[in-house]
């Protein structure tokens, strides 16, 4: 097969399937005599002749030190199909939800840490006062802490000023706990309140 240009991993998979079938046939014929022994299974990656030598050493050690045990070794392919291909496209960062994010002012380096259960781009657009769909300025936009800072400091604010620090899609409470931990660690000076949820561990 190798001389005819077949990849070595295909040959390895064929060998370990053959050996597994042989082992299953042998174990079925010896079930009666080994019924009193404790059965154990060990899964090893198939690495050619090296795996076979390792199996012999392990079985010899088990036979010597654990005579009442029966060890069955099963091979698995060292390369899986799922490790070669990505079956799902990665989600763009601006479409992730359940996020803890950090805003850093490009002019004065002031920071803000917040959380949102909505898509990151939508929440960032609210802070920037623009539409998440068109990117155009919105009239009558609700005030946010970051938006108020941008209007007073007047930096050239953009999406690049935001950083996703963490995620939690399980529930809103866990998301706020993580936000509070980040606030306690970094002490962002734009945040009005110290934390979303009181951190009893750090109270005096």
The residues, any chain, with a CB within 8 Å of residue 182's CB and separated by 6 or more, are 100, 102, 113, 165, 166
Residue 137: pLDDT band (50, 70, 90) is confident
Q: Residue 1: pLDDT above 80? A: no
Range with the largest mean pLDDT of 41-45, 104-108, 192-196: 104-108
- Cβ–Cβ contacts within 10 Å for residue 52, how many? 15
User: What does pLDDT average to over the chain?
Assistant: 83
Residue 203: pLDDT band (50, 70, 90) is low
Bridge-partner residues for 104, per DSSP?
A: 111
pLDDT score of 15: 81
Q: Is 58 helix (H, G, I), strand (E, B) or coil?
A: helix
CATH no. for 93-193: 3.40.1440
pLDDT score of 147: 93
Average pLDDT of span 184-195: 86
pLDDT score of 26: 64
pLDDT score of 32: 52
pLDDT score of 156: 93
Give the closest residue to 145 by CA, choosing from 98, 197, 106, 192.
Answer: 192
Write down the number of H helices and E strands in the chain.
6, 5
What are the residue ranges spanned by the domains of the chain? Answer: 1-21+36-79, 93-193
Residue of 121 and 40 predicted with greater confidence: 121
Residue range 56-97, pLDDT digits in tens: 888 888 888 888 888 888 887 766 666 666 666 777 888 899
Q: Residue 3: pLDDT above 80? A: no
Residue 204: pLDDT band (50, 70, 90) is low
The two three-digit tokens of residue 155, written as one number: 């930096």
pLDDT score of 91: 76
Residue of 124 and 12 predicted with greater confidence: 124
Burial zone of 195 (CB within 10 Å; 0-12 exposed, 13-18 middle, 19+ buried): middle
Residue range 8-17, pLDDT digits in tens: 777 778 787 8
pLDDT score of 189: 93
């Amino acid at each position: 097969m190798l001389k005819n240009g077949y990849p070595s991993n295909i040959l390895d998979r064929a060998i370990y399937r053959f050996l597994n079938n042989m082992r299953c046939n042998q174990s079925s014929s010896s079930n009666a005599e080994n019924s009193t022994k404790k059965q154990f299974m060990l899964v090893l990656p198939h690495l050619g002749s090296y795996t076979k030598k390792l199996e012999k050493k392990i079985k010899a050690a088990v036979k010597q030190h654990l005579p009442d045990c029966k060890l069955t070794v099963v091979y698995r392919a060292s390369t899986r199909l799922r490790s070669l291909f990505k079956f799902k496209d990665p989600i763009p960062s601006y479409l992730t939800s359940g996020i803890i994010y950090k805003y850093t002012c490009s002019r004065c380096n002031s920071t803000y840490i917040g959380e949102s259960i909505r898509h990151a781009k939508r929440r960032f657009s609210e802070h920037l006062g623009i539409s998440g769909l068109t990117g155009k300025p919105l009239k009558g936009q609700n005030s946010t802490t970051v938006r108020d800072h941008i209007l007073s400091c007047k930096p050239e604010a953009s999406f690049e000023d935001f950083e996703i620090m963490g995620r939690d899609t399980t529930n809103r409470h866990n998301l706020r706990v993580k936000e509070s931990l980040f606030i306690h660690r970094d002490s962002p000076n734009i945040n009005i309140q110290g934390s979303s949820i009181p951190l009893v561990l750090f109270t005096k």
